[in-house]
Chain A
């Protein structure tokens, strides 16, 4: 009797352990697929909300027209200049930011004495942690007045130039260039550090100077990692909204350095608050265009990483 009782509690315990185990596994599986569900529903909702305007207003009128007058009597929803601004602005930010970031990465991985690296490395990490609104605030307070001075000097006699008070493409580009620094620095640095040490020692043994070794051997060898870093930088720059929304001006123009411009992101930020009807739908179309750019960036990234994996295997 006693033996039987002991046996049955043992069985029961075993059963409940089994139930807990199964439940745990099921819960973790659900958690894991949460990310998949999230990406799927974001994609779905972006398409569902962005496409109607394309139907209603017409693909050509939105994507290939340059006149943005969403609140006019006869509204016009051309976002070509907005798209161009995002592309030009991102490209310019990359052109300015990447060289500085690469050289800083080289400094951290190869050149810096330990003590200096101990100052630079945390500084870069902190730069990444500063909220984007603070970059925006500093852009307004420091960059815009400076740009206004340059603008006044450059366009002193011009009758065609619309003065912007310094809120222009160039200000936004500088803010973006600073904001991508940490991303590009960190990833380039780790790809430089991941290189096999023989690479460096053989180059030095063959008579190359340390600097030649860096630029002729190490940087080319770290190319996949550096490209990853740049692609991530592109993603960061094209998606940034709050830092540049007040810095870049408030009207839609062709992206010239001293023109007031709107990016894909800043158009959404500054107009979503009051937009209604078709205007609001077109803002979602702008969101969809931005989303498409980001997906291209992500797929490119995935491609690079996959290729890297195959190369090592």
Chain B
């Protein structure tokens, strides 16, 4: 009798804990949308905050975010994929594999504020990039590298060895085999890694505060977009942080709504891709 009682209690606690986790998420989403949806309007998304014109908007921050995402991925994706290819296809039982995997794990565990400090000193001061989009993107490259490397490695591992043996047996050279057989088969996994990296970049703030700075203006038309790479540019998260430290909570919640929408979208995309991955595995 006592045993039944105890079992029931513990089971109740298990259900309660799961409920808490779901409730937290639901509460966060509902609260943010309830507070923020009124702030989000067409002009909020397409104009720049200006006292002169009396507008409040985050267009500049949206451009900066997209800029940093694209730039970071352009640098990080090739390196991450290359690293995974070496680890999985070339390294064999090299004793370096352990070191590289350990450092990749370490990179994944370093807090973003440390990346921020390092990026500020190394890319900002030593390499003289200052507070700029480029400094931010280079800093974030280090941060998202493990994500891309690990996902690509996982994807390469799931390609059956028969594919490799078949291609080599038919006389294909190794890189040719990797390029035409392995990478296409591993593509869904690689793309999943890249999308996760996008999520990480969009949500990042501590690593960007002292590297990319807080500029919120739109790049000037024409070659402005090129010059922008060496100018300071705050992403959406940075603007959210600045707004909330200035107690401008309406703007802060408006940005929070935009960020949550992006997060939800990214989550959906990875889900869809994971579904495709399963199907190809079943065949």
Interface residues of A (CB under 8 A from B): 17, 20-21, 24-25, 27-36, 38-39, 41-42, 45-46, 49, 99-104, 106-108, 111-112, 116, 119-120, 122-127, 129-134, 136-138, 140-142, 178, 181, 185, 209-212, 214-215, 232, 235, 238-242, 246, 265, 268-269, 272-273, 284, 287, 290-291, 294-295, 297-298, 301-302
Inter-chain contact A129/B199, CB cutoff 8 Å: yes
Would you call B83 an interface residue if the criterion is a C-beta within 8 Å of the partner chain's C-beta atoms?
yes
Determine the distance from Cα of A104 to Cα of B22 in the docked complex, in whole angstroms: 10
Determine the distance from Cα of A214 to Cα of B25 in the docked complex, in whole angstroms: 26
B243 nearest CB neighbor, chain A only: A137
Inter-chain contact A32/B87, CB cutoff 8 Å: yes
Known: A34-B83, A120-B21. Is A130-B112 also a contact (CB below 8 A)?
Answer: no
Specify which chain B residues have a CB less than 8 angstroms from the CB of A302 in the assembled complex. Answer: 102, 105
Determine the distance from Cα of A119 to Cα of B11 in the docked complex, in whole angstroms: 18
Specify which chain B residues have a CB less than 8 angstroms from the CB of A238 in the assembled complex. Answer: 111
A242 contact from B106, B115, B241, B266, Cβ within 8 A: B241
Instruction: Say which one of B53-61, B185-193, B257-265 lies at the interface with A.
Output: B257-265
A305 nearest CB neighbor, chain B only: B105
Q: Closest 10 A-B residue pairs measured CB to CB?
A: A239-B111, A31-B82, A103-B17, A131-B203, A28-B86, A24-B175, A32-B86, A107-B18, A211-B7, A241-B206
For residue B133, give the distance in angstroms from its CB to the closest CB of chain A: 19
For residue A193, give the distance in angstroms from its CB to the closest CB of chain B: 16
- Among B202-228, those with CB < 8 Å from A are 202-206, 209-210
B7 contact from A119, A124, A212, Cβ within 8 A: A212
10 A–B contacts from the bound complex (CB under 8 Å):
A30-B82, A49-B117, A131-B240, A137-B240, A181-B24, A239-B111, A239-B113, A284-B117, A298-B105, A301-B109
Determine the distance from Cα of A125 to Cα of B267 in the docked complex, in whole angstroms: 8
Interface centre among B145, B173, B206, B240 (most CB of A within 10 A): B206
For residue A299, give the distance in angstroms from its CB to the closest CB of chain B: 9
Known: A126-B25, A239-B114. Is A134-B107 also a contact (CB below 8 A)?
Answer: no
Inter-chain contact B86/A134, CB cutoff 8 Å: no
A28 contact from B22, B32, B85, B203, Cβ within 8 A: B85
Specify which chain A residues have a CB less than 8 angstroms from the CB of B85 in the assembled complex. Answer: 28, 31
Inter-chain contact A35/B83, CB cutoff 8 Å: yes
A120 contact from B7, B22, B78, B175, Cβ within 8 A: B22
Known: A21-B174, A269-B206. Is A241-B86 also a contact (CB below 8 A)?
Answer: no
B203 contact from A31, A45, A129, A272, Cβ within 8 A: A129
Interface centre among A39, A100, A246, A265 (most CB of B within 10 A): A39
Determine the distance from Cα of A16 to Cα of B121 in the docked complex, in whole angstroms: 42
Instruction: Say which one of B37-45, B66-74, B248-256 lies at the interface with A.
Output: B248-256
Determine the distance from Cα of A241 to Cα of B6 in the docked complex, in whole angstroms: 40
Inter-chain contact A178/B24, CB cutoff 8 Å: yes
Inter-chain contact B100/A33, CB cutoff 8 Å: yes
Known: A242-B206, A268-B113. Is A185-B100 also a contact (CB below 8 A)?
Answer: no
Inter-chain contact B110/A211, CB cutoff 8 Å: no
Determine the distance from Cα of A36 to Cα of B97 in the docked complex, in whole angstroms: 11
Determine the distance from Cα of A297 to Cα of B122 in the docked complex, in whole angstroms: 24
Would you call B13 an interface residue if the criterion is a C-beta within 8 Å of the partner chain's C-beta atoms?
yes
Specify which chain A residues have a CB less than 8 angstroms from the CB of B260 in the assembled complex. Answer: 130, 134
A141 nearest CB neighbor, chain B only: B249
B111 contact from A136, A138, A142, A240, Cβ within 8 A: A240
Beyond A104-B14, A107-B14, A137-B244, list 9 extra A-B contacts (CB 8 Å).
A28-B85, A45-B122, A112-B18, A127-B25, A131-B203, A137-B256, A242-B241, A268-B113, A290-B111
Interface centre among B17, B80, B245 (most CB of A within 10 A): B17
Inter-chain contact A104/B17, CB cutoff 8 Å: yes
B118 contact from A42, A103, A137, Cβ within 8 A: A42
For residue B194, give the distance in angstroms from its CB to the closest CB of chain A: 15
Inter-chain contact B90/A25, CB cutoff 8 Å: yes
Interface centre among A130, A210, A268, A295 (most CB of B within 10 A): A130
Determine the distance from Cα of A187 to Cα of B204 in the docked complex, in whole angstroms: 22
Determine the distance from Cα of A130 to Cα of B90 in the docked complex, in whole angstroms: 37
A134 contact from B16, B20, B99, B256, Cβ within 8 A: B256
Interface centre among A38, A39, A101 (most CB of B within 10 A): A38
Specify which chain B residues have a CB less than 8 angstroms from the CB of A273 in the assembled complex. Answer: 210
Inter-chain contact B24/A241, CB cutoff 8 Å: no
Inter-chain contact A211/B10, CB cutoff 8 Å: yes
Specify which chain B residues have a CB less than 8 angstroms from the CB of A140 in the assembled complex. Answer: 244
Specify which chain B residues have a CB less than 8 angstroms from the CB of A122 in the assembled complex. Answer: 267, 271
For residue B265, give the distance in angstroms from its CB to the closest CB of chain A: 10
Specify which chain B residues have a CB less than 8 angstroms from the CB of A215 in the assembled complex. Answer: 10
Determine the distance from Cα of A129 to Cα of B145 in the docked complex, in whole angstroms: 18
Would you call B158 an interface residue if the criterion is a C-beta within 8 Å of the partner chain's C-beta atoms?
no
Would you call B180 an interface residue if the criterion is a C-beta within 8 Å of the partner chain's C-beta atoms?
no
